[in-house]
Amino acid sequence: MIAGGSRIAAYLATRLLDMNVAVKIIEKNLDKALDLALRFPDITVICGDGTDQATLLSENLDGMDGFVSLTDNDEENVIISMFAEQQGVEHVVPKVNRVELGFLLENRASPMP
């Protein structure tokens, strides 16, 4: 699952499709969501708020193998990524541009053995 329909999300979706991975993108902007749906007929595109916990849960977040948060807001990316981890998503990646937010990511999950 990818939250946010940016150029990075489109690139990632392409790479995941090349690896035969099912992709679901949640994008709140209707025009972007429609564009993604037209460009990528093999993925599921949801027009909704990818930072809304109820939306994420209704789209089966807890059943996802991975979650990538690619919204334009670093803080939202960190928070919803932490929520995804709490829901048991094994692979979670938030996009964070501001280095000063690194302290939020340091103790998110225990390191892999």
Q: Which domain range does residue 86 map to?
A: 2-106
Tokens at 106, concatenated:
């340091």
Q: The CATH number of the domain where 9 resides is what?
A: 3.40.50.720
pLDDT of residue 107: 55
User: What does pTM read for this prediction?
Assistant: 0.86
- Please, which residues bridge with residue 69 across strands? 3, 94
Domain count, the chain: 1
Q: What is the largest CA-CA distance in the chain?
A: 43
In a domain, 113, yes or no: no
In a domain, 16, yes or no: yes
In a domain, 112, yes or no: no
H or E, element range at 94: strand 91-94
Q: pLDDT tens for residues 83-106? A: 999 999 999 999 988 766 555 556
Q: Quote the CA–CA distance of 12 and 81 in Å, as a whole number.
A: 17
